[in-house]
């Protein structure tokens, strides 16, 4: 026998008890739980939208913790629904707010519309998008939005309406991109701001991936592939952000965790191959853009140090100064660490890496021969 907590008074009681001995609250056992039928209702005390078991007599509101009668809560919602305007009227006003980026007002109206038509995919989709946008960065849940997209797609059985819904999700992803960038431009260049921006952009990329699975129109599929690769390119950038240290602003490079970076790069490669089958010119253009990003990610100071150290090695080796050669070897090796770690093998970075390794090997051979002659 296990002890459980009474939902009404909090007393510890047996899990086999049919009612709480302290307050008389009815307790459902495991076999009865399977018969629970949850229905939408509204708390008469605080007005929150809740779900209640229609087979019970009373329950406790999860928001205000007030004990309420089930029939009163259900009736309260039915009265509110009767007093609401017609669905078409609500959606007309909600769509206007949505198109004007008035997401708080639109969310409230779409919430009312979902009470009248809870299985409407378009209503649930836009309600989820509004909720995502008006939430702050802490409450914003990317998985919830993606689930909202997927559930809306699966709920729509009519193929023609589903295609319209897929275009709606594509437009929503583009809108979220614009929203995130505008929000980022209004803030300072801090690491948390870039985290927030990259989180939204990654969600947009996953949204395009989801839509591309269901789309049948080649042109829209091409647009999805293009947007996925573009977003992956942007997510692989390493922009600068500012931090305060000893009262001074210091610029640092932002970088995603290496496992996430590899996952994004694999996605980029996958959809670049798919895009090449539809539009090879566009795929080549995006690949060149990626190569430039990878080249730009290499610190200019690091490249300069690498070039200077290689030139110095070429100068000092014939002179026969082993100590200087060893120091320059160390500098050359350190400057090679980052390109190797971040797998930058494109353009002149690949050539520079190859030349540096050759020089390094030559210098090691020289140093070993010099040690043998001592």
SS3 helix, strand, coil % of the chain, rounded to 5?
Answer: 65, 10, 25
Residues of the chain above pLDDT 90, percent: 10
In this predicted model, what pLDDT tens digit does every residue of 56-90 receive, in sequence order?
Answer: 888 888 778 888 888 888 777 766 666 556 778 88
At 29 the pLDDT is 54
Across all residues in the chain, what is the average pLDDT? 76
- What backbone phi and psi angles, to 5 degrees, belong to 249? -85, 130
- 167 in Cβ contact with 149 (< 8 Å): no
Phi, psi of 53 (to 5 degrees): -85, 115
- Per-residue pLDDT tens over the stretch 288-306: 888 776 665 555 555 565 6
Q: List phi, psi (to 5°) of 34.
A: -70, -20
Q: What confidence score (pLDDT) does residue 224 get?
A: 92
Q: Is 253 in a helix, a strand, or coil?
A: strand
Name the least confident of 42-51, 67-76, 123-132, 179-188.
179-188
> Which residue, chain included where needed, has tokens 């789309």?
215
Range of 73-82, 149-158, 360-369 with top mean pLDDT: 149-158
pTM listed for this prediction: 0.58
Q: Where are the domains of the chain?
A: 1-35, 135-297, 300-372
Higher-scoring residue by pLDDT: 54, 59:
59
Task: Report whether pLDDT(93) > 60.
Answer: yes
Q: Using CA atoms, how far apart are residues 360 and 336, in angstroms rounded to an integer?
A: 10
- Backbone φ and ψ of 273, nearest 5°: -65, -45
């Amino acid at each position: 026998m296990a002890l459980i907590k009474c939902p009404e008074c909090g007393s510890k009681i047996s899990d086999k008890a049919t009612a709480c001995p302290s307050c008389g609250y009815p307790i459902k056992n495991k076999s009865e739980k399977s018969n629970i039928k949850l229905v939408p209702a509204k708390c008469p005390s605080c007005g929150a939208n809740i779900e209640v078991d229609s087979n019970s007599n009373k329950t406790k509101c999860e928001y205000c913790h007030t004990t309420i009668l089930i029939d009163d809560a259900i009736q309260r919602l039915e009265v509110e629904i009767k007093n609401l305007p017609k669905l078409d009227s609500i959606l007309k006003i909600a769509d206007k707010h949505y198109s004007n980026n008035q997401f708080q007002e639109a969310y409230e109206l779409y919430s009312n519309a979902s009470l009248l038509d809870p299985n409407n995919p378009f209503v649930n989709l836009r309600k989820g998008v509004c909720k995502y946008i008006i939430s702050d960065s802490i409450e914003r849940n990317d998985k919830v939005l993606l689930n909202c997209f997927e559930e809306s797609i699966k709920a729509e059985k009519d193929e023609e309406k589903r295609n319209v819904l897929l275009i709606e999700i594509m437009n929503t992803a583009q809108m979220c991109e614009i929203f995130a960038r505008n929000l980022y431009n209004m803030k300072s260049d801090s690491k948390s701001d870039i985290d927030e921006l990259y989180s939204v952009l990654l969600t947009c990329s996953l949204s395009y991936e989801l839509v591309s699975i269901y789309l049948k129109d080649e042109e829209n599929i091409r647009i999805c592939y293009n947007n996925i690769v573009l977003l992956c390119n942007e997510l692989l950038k390493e922009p600068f952000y500012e931090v305060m240290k000893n009262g001074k602003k210091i610029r640092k490079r932002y970088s995603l965790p290496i496992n996430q970076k590899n996952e994004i790069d694999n996605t980029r490669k996958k959809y670049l191959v798919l895009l090449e089958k539809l539009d090879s010119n566009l795929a080549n253009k995006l690949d060149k853009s990626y190569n430039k990003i990878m080249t730009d990610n290499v610190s200019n100071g690091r490249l300069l140090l690498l070039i200077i150290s290689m030139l110095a090695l070429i100068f000092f080796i014939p002179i026969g100064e082993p100590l200087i050669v060893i120091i320059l070897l160390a500098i050359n090796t350190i400057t090679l660490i980052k390109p190797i770690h971040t797998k930058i093998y494109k353009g002149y970075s690949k050539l520079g890496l190859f030349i540096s390794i050759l020089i390094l090997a030559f210098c090691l051979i020289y140093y070993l021969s010099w040690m043998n002659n001592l």
